[in-house]
Structure 1
């Protein structure tokens, strides 16, 4: 059983998240009644349906796998939008003048591949690079509909098919078997759909290997990471985490020390406080941002993702893991989270197609579970890492090739940059977000 430390998000317990979000949903439902004219405020009651739709607050709930099924299991780092009008929908309103309905499962309501490629300078690379590379997605339990749901996503957005029959997609258990798979789980299936779609969005020509651990323990997930590497993946995405423990340094050597392999890990969704395996010195720890369109040459702007004191991108100074040689910030003597970042705010979330255990259709997701596979895709576009290299080091050598995120905070911390964005390096966003692929090459 993992133990919490002062540096972990234990005071932001995942077990309270669903209760808190349920209360948030009730508050928003009350607000919706006011907007419909059933409240007591004349000003609020005078709001038109169009105004209400454009300004309706986005609400979401933690994905079921964000609450561990059993003691000793880790949690996924994703949240799913349940209502309101997302940034993507507002963007569409501006483009065509048609006010969207609140988010539902009938049509995509989050950013798609072209949006993400545009935001991160990947349009050209996504069209010409990635062929022959394999991105491994490591998650727990089985998603029986993984390949079919991926096909829906890729077909809708005009991406080439990625199927088992065509040699692009492969699903295995943690031992490498294609037939001996773990039990199915609807919560982790949502996570799997998110991860597969984000890897596809940034590297549509890449092959995808889904490795399903038989449970969400570090031992089983770590075994799945090793299996992904043994099967030839040079890019391995992990969208889960938990409290740090004194065992983490042994996990480092057992599961994450793979020179020549880019291993990305989500930084967590519970605001300031270090998580593992994001704290591993051998991985690229990926924080989360709010991504919005802007009247700039880039066309986009970003800030630290924070919704509340307990819902925000993770960051933190590890209590156990040694500082890698390429990390030179002076306020944290050990490993500092994060290294880089990408979109994670559910209000500016990403579109995902999912059908197992839910109404089949389109959903909008957020959380650093979105940013980790996105960054894995960017590494894949940059090309196979050299033998013996540690790709987590690459962004530190190419900081000018990243979008520096300089605004926002994810909480209260002992040292400002641990939780507050600023020029150059900071905990919540690392050195920044992709500006093409140059920062992810050796």
Structure 2
């Protein structure tokens, strides 16, 4: 049992004061903070070795089973124990020890927190109508729409359902009835992606396209389907080893002018993955995001647990360097372009019910950062028909429209900036994290 302290007028005032310094939060998020609620934990869907974060005694497992060689891996990391940054911040505000892990209430950042951290509160309230974010994942999540409804209702976001035209789920052929086989691991990935797109762009419509397998051919076909169905923003939270076929995959699946395609940079530390290394996508790295007393109210560093776990980065072995990348350490494509929260210890709240106890869980991984950035692009508006939105942040490099992440490392490499944060561009965090929409507007 958690020991609670009555909320007197004075300590309620101090809670409100602290969060006003961090920026606006949603009504539901504020209510949670005042009530002193928090959870952690998630039943494992696939065997995995828990990892411990250097940001605190937080453990997690990979949501999806390890794929066979040649298939893509989902990048969702599910917290299984410990105290998250959200819970620690909550304890500081109300003087209450975070309760033991369960699935009854959120224990990670919600929409208000993420919007505040990335300077999006006003834009999220007023923009996004008429835009569609596509989420591309493998296999079916039978509970996707219901779980999304629970998340949005809890945080006071408008309903996004098939009935009101906001939500649509199809297979890679475009059929709403002929769907892939269900998979509980990928269902958690889907829940994470849908919730993050909602958190950043509550007014956007959401299209979920489910590939029949996690092969690049099937996932790529699903990307193409998303574009043919009208999505101008496509989020991909998966990746795998590079291959000599990547150039052909680029042309077949990712060369879509006028469409912002975001891809997780990977969760295995230094080393490039595909399709993050595609020259036509925005590769999204990961940070550890914590509240502080600065003017921004938040601070970030490279997310890294060890040399083999943390945000991905590095030089592609095969993919051509896009013209807008000017760093000299990679002759070919450098990863990442931008970044957002990914450390499970500073993770995000997600509601999930397929194959697990229905409830609230905390997730991390660059699976979280990719849909966050897709949502930012959507808030910024439809890209011009001939543009490649991966280029947009480079025009804003060095300006206040990006939070430059300058501390942390995801491994050891011969060219230091490719694995160690610095002022300006670096591999783990790219050009930085969003501070409003300017860097994502063509």
When the two structures are superposed, what TM-score results if normalisation uses the length of structure 2? Answer: 0.88
Superposition deviation, residue 276 in structure 1: 0.0
Structure 1 residues 355-393: Cα deviation after superposition (integer angstroms, max 9, x where no partner)? 000000000000000000000000000000001100000
- The answer (yes or no) to whether the contact 1:83–1:104 under 8 Å persists in 2 is no
SS for the counterpart of 1:334 is coil
1:348 aligns with 2:354: no
> Match for residue 21 of structure 1?
50
User: Does residue 1:195 correspond to 2:196, yes or no?
Assistant: no
Supply the distance in 2 between the matched residues of 1:290 and 1:172 (Cα, whole angstroms).
33
Tell me the equivalent position of 2:3: none
SS at match of 1:124: helix
Q: Distance in 1 between matches of 2:323 and 2:181?
A: 40
What's the counterpart of residue 110 of structure 2? 112
User: Which aligned pairs between 1:319-358 and structure 2 lie closer than 5 A?
Assistant: 319-358=317-356
Secondary structure, in 3 states, of the residue corresponding to 1:376?
Answer: helix
Map of 1:405 onto structure 2: 405
8 Å CA contact 2:64, 2:73 repeated in 1: no
Aligned partners of 2:56 and 2:345 also within 8 Å:
no
SS of the residue aligned with 2:417?
helix
How far did residue 21 of structure 1 move?
2.3
* Residue in 1 that maps onto 2:24: none
Instruction: Tell me, in whole angstroms, the C-alpha distance in 2 between the residues paired with 1:21 and 1:155.
Output: 31
Contact 2:174 2:225 in 1 (8 A): yes
> 2:319 aligns to what SS in structure 1?
strand
Distance 1:137 1:422 in 2: 32
2:77 is aligned, of 79, 92, 103, to: 79
Tell me what 2:435 maps to: 435
Q: How does 1:217-256 map to 2 (within 5 A)?
A: 217-256=215-254
Measure, in 2, the Cα distance between the counterparts of 1:396 and 1:129: 23
Q: Secondary structure at the match of 1:319?
A: coil
The equivalent residue for 2:57 is 57
Aligned equivalents of 2:48 and 2:202: distance in 1? Answer: 37
Aligned to 1:130: 128
Q: 1:350-389 counterparts in 2 under 5 A?
A: 350-389=348-387
Q: Distance in 2 between matches of 1:56 and 1:235?
A: 34
- Structure 2: gaps spanning 5 or more residues: 1-45
Gaps of 5+ in 1: 1-16, 26-54
Counterparts of 1:24-39 in structure 2, within 5 Å, are: none
**SS at 2:436's partner residue?**
coil
Distance 1:103 1:57 in 2: 13
Maintained 8 Å contact 1:82/1:104: no
In the alignment, the residues of structure 2 paired with residue 165 and residue 278 of structure 1 have an alpha-carbon distance, to the nearest angstrom, of: 34
Is residue 423 of structure 1 aligned with residue 440 of structure 2? no
Deviation (angstroms), 1:104: 2.2
Partner of 1:99: 97
**Which residue in the other structure is 1:162 paired with?**
160
Residue 102 (structure 1) shift:
3.4
Q: Which residue of 1 aligns with 2:393?
A: 395
Question: Number of paired residues?
Answer: 395
Moved more, 70-79 or 407-416: 70-79
The Cα of 1:270 is off from its aligned counterpart by 0.2
CA distance in 2, matches of 1:124, 1:186: 35
Aligned to 1:64, the other structure's residue is in SS state coil
Deviations 1:282-335 (A, max 9, x none): 000000000000110000000000011211000010000000000000010000
User: Which portions of structure 1, spanning 4 or more consecutive aligned residues, are displaced by more than 6 angstroms?
Assistant: none
- Alpha-carbon RMSD: 1.5
SS at match of 1:243: coil
Structure having the larger proportion of residues in helix:
1
Question: 1 CA distance for matches of 2:438 and 2:377?
Answer: 9
Aligned counterparts of 1:371 and 1:365: Cα–Cα separation in 2: 11
SS at match of 1:386: coil
